[in-house]
Amino acid sequence: MNLLMCPVCQKQLVLNDRTWRCETNHSYDVAKQGYVNLHVVQHKHSKNPGDTPESVQARRAFLSAGHYAPLQQAVVEKIRQLRIENLLDIGCGEGYYTNAMQAEVLQCVGVDIAKNAVQVAAKLNSEVTWVVGTGATLPVLEHSIDLCTSLFSPIPKAEILRVLKPAGYLMVVTPATEHLYAMREALFEEVKPHDSSKFVEQLADAFELIDEQVVCADLVLNQTDLKNLIAMTPYAYKAKPERRLALEQHEQFDLTAQYQIYVFKKKS
């Protein structure tokens, strides 16, 4: 089944000769890199929304080195246990997690608002349907998705409820309490523990929490990996430049990554 939806008229899109087209004849060409851009001009709030090219390249380099592999493996295992047919990864970025998810399902759609990120992702895995799109209007048909995933990304609740099947699932991955605490201490004068439980409260009226897990990984980073980690996070522009520079002088830096995984089921 074709899962994609025309962002203009909300009709089903059908792929024919590298062009996605709806019955009212809106058409969207597949780019040479292998993705389709369904982020139409009327939905844009800036010329180049989403992550910067520098952030995307830093994330690709850091994740490719395997530092977040324990999280990727834990996410894949949870998807395997759910035994579903299709999933939509919201905020797929440069595709590190989406690429691994695809092997566990029949159909996998990765969507991100940052075109430069999707261009990088599309080179990873041609079996994924890669889409430039916005969470404000998720580019898939209503009640068509078994599982929506949001890893360190926004959670457009109303849209997720629209696209999920009646008994569909939502997986949220967010920083756990101590995530990258040593790095944050080096970058900021005041550091507060992450509060991941707020998502449970925000979703409680529409979703039942059925599973949760904290995944920890001890990281020993060389200078290049440390710079990439800083560059791929919001801390890159939130920290004072002198603090960032001082941290980047470390030839080795030890810290702990700690991730919170939640799995929710849509309430009937």
Domain boundaries, the chain: 37-266
Mean per-residue pLDDT, 88-103:
98
Binding region for S-adenosyl-L-methionine:
68, 94-95, 179
- Do the Cβ atoms of 156 and 112 come closer than 8 Å? no
Q: What confidence tier does 52 reach under pLDDT thresholds 50, 70, 90?
A: confident
Q: What confidence tier does 99 reach under pLDDT thresholds 50, 70, 90?
A: very high
Phi/psi class of residue 31: alpha, beta or left (left: φ > 0; alpha: ψ in -120 to 50)?
beta
Average pLDDT over the chain, rounded to whole?
94
What pLDDT score was predicted for residue 203?
97
| pLDDT-above-70 percentage for the chain | 96
Long-range contacts of 190-194 (CB under 8 A, 24+ apart): 194/260
Task: Kindly indicate whether the domain formed by 37-266 is annotated with CATH number 3.40.50.150.
Answer: yes
Binding region:
6, 9, 22, 26, 68, 94-95, 179
Hey, what amino acid is at 223? Answer: Q
What pLDDT score was predicted for residue 111?
98
pLDDT at 49 over 90: no
Mean per-residue pLDDT, 73-91:
98
| pLDDT-above-90 percentage for the chain | 89
What pLDDT score was predicted for residue 50?
67
Mean per-residue pLDDT, 123-151:
96
Q: What confidence tier does 33 reach under pLDDT thresholds 50, 70, 90?
A: very high
The structure's pTM equals 0.94
Binding region for Zn(2+):
6, 9, 22, 26
What pLDDT score was predicted for residue 252?
97
pLDDT at 47 over 70: no
pLDDT at 204 over 70: yes
pLDDT at 44 over 80: no
Which is higher by pLDDT, 129 or 41?
129
